[in-house]
Amino acid sequence: MKIHSLDVHIVDLPTIRPHHLAMHTIVNQTIVLACVKSEDGIEGWAEVATIGGASYAEESPEAIKFNTEKYIKPLIIGKNPANFGAISYLISQNVVGNYYAKALVEAAIIDLAAKALNIPSYELFGGQVHTSLPVAWTLASGDTGKDIEEAKECLAAKRHNIFKLKIGMGDPKKNVQHVLKIKEAVGDQASVRVDVNQAWDEVTSLYCIEALEAGGIDLIEQPLIHWNHEGMARLADRFKVPIMVDEGLGHIQGAHHIAKQRAGNVFALKVGKAGGLIATKKTAAIAEASGIPLYGGTMIESSLGTAICAQLYSTIPEIAFGTELFGPLLFKDTITTNAIEYENFEIKIPQGPGFGMTIDKEKVRHYSRDAQYSTATSHR
């Protein structure tokens, strides 16, 4: 079996409410889809997501699409998808950086390879350890009363008992008080965590983390700018509450450097930032060898991207801090005909061939920016 074609589509999906981060507020999330087709017509699909165009990462959705089609596509046509590791290595030898684009293509090839064998993709990464994983929810209304009400509704429905608050925007002291009131309201029923998205300096972090630690907050995510490894190491050494590395964690060499410096004591895994599923598994191995616990992160992917992450995370023995794979719950619509399932505070790992999701091509056409693809699909 050989790869015959690769198509890339940029899709904009509306969210159920604004999702606030320090660098951007999401009301429409942009995802990039890839479809790799074999000569006998089997399709492998994959997704990566970025946030706010180029405000979160160096690769914009438009750059991911262009560079995939221009520079990566010629490298994979005619190759056997079963050799996805060798193909990923070939791409790495010919394309510098472009981690999201590499992750997109690699995942599509893995989906194709697994479908050809009629097995779930996690079987290609050593097999499933977890059938479900804990999943966090972000409280983001900005109103303390509304956030408390939402948290209690999630607890009552047994949907989430881990809550994250994005506190990188606005007055840090007021944000800390907002978080502490929510923690007081939910008590020991839930884990409450914060994500600063690199917005604080070290002085601000010292005051705020001290207050958050005293108030029972369980995790502080990326308080400092991504390059400030020394500052992150000082914070991790000073406080008992774990300091998690997110934006500071990218390729595997960087993961090794952070582990050596102890520039944080939890790693947030993200498939797109690492450059693919293979690299993410290697990052997890670096963390395991360094005694650093893991968190299964998200880039706010839709159902397909969430399935990709969930299947890989299910092969990692210890995900001590759970996952943040709530993306599908944030969108008004979906690009797959089947849904990600959530119950008993956990995400259920999708089963079935490939990543276990079936693409709804009409929905892709509806939300796609690609007019040519929209026209072609409508005439099928």
Query: For 198-236, how does the pLDDT look when each residue is reduced to its tens digit (9 = 90+)?
Result: 999 999 999 999 999 999 999 999 999 999 999 999 999
Alpha carbons 15 and 239: distance in angstroms, whole number = 36
Q: Which residues of the chain fall below pLDDT 50?
A: 372-380
Residue 371 phi, psi (nearest 5): -65, -35
Q: Residue type at 79?
A: K
b or e along 317-345 (b: 16 or more beta carbons within 10 Å of the residue's beta carbon)? Answer: eebebbbbbbbbbbbeebbbeeebebeeb
Query: For 241-269, how does the pLDDT look when each residue is reduced to its tens digit (9 = 90+)?
Result: 999 999 999 899 999 999 999 999 999 99
Residue spans per domain, the chain: 3-119+358-369, 124-348
Distances (CA, A) of 316 to 203, 256, 277, 313: 36, 18, 12, 5
| 127 closest CA partner among 366, 290, 316, 373 | 316
The pLDDT, as a whole number, for residue 376 is 46
CB-count exposure of residue 130 (10 Å: 0-12, 13-18, 19+): buried
Residue 28 CB contacts under 8 Å (≥ 6 apart), including other chains: 12, 13, 14, 15
Alpha carbons 106 and 276: distance in angstroms, whole number = 6
Helix pair 99-117, 277-290: axis angle to 10 deg = 100
The pLDDT, as a whole number, for residue 30 is 93
For 367, the token pair is 């939300």
Question: What does CATH list as the number for 3-119+358-369?
Answer: 3.30.390.10
- What positions carry a catalytic annotation? 166
Alpha carbons 364 and 367: distance in angstroms, whole number = 5
The pLDDT, as a whole number, for residue 156 is 96
Residue 154 phi, psi (nearest 5): -65, -40
Only one residue has tokens 């490894």, namely 229
First vs last Cα of the chain: how many Å apart? 25
Q: Is residue 263 a contact partner of residue 236, using CB atoms and an 8 Å limit?
A: yes
Q: Is residue 307 a contact partner of residue 323, using CB atoms and an 8 Å limit?
A: no
Residue 148 CB contacts under 8 Å (≥ 6 apart), including other chains: 181, 182, 185, 186
The pLDDT, as a whole number, for residue 20 is 67
Residue 361 CB contacts under 8 Å (≥ 6 apart), including other chains: 377
DSSP type of residue 97: S
Alpha carbons 67 and 269: distance in angstroms, whole number = 24
Domain 124-348 has CATH 3.40.50.2300: no
Only one residue has tokens 């509450």, namely 241
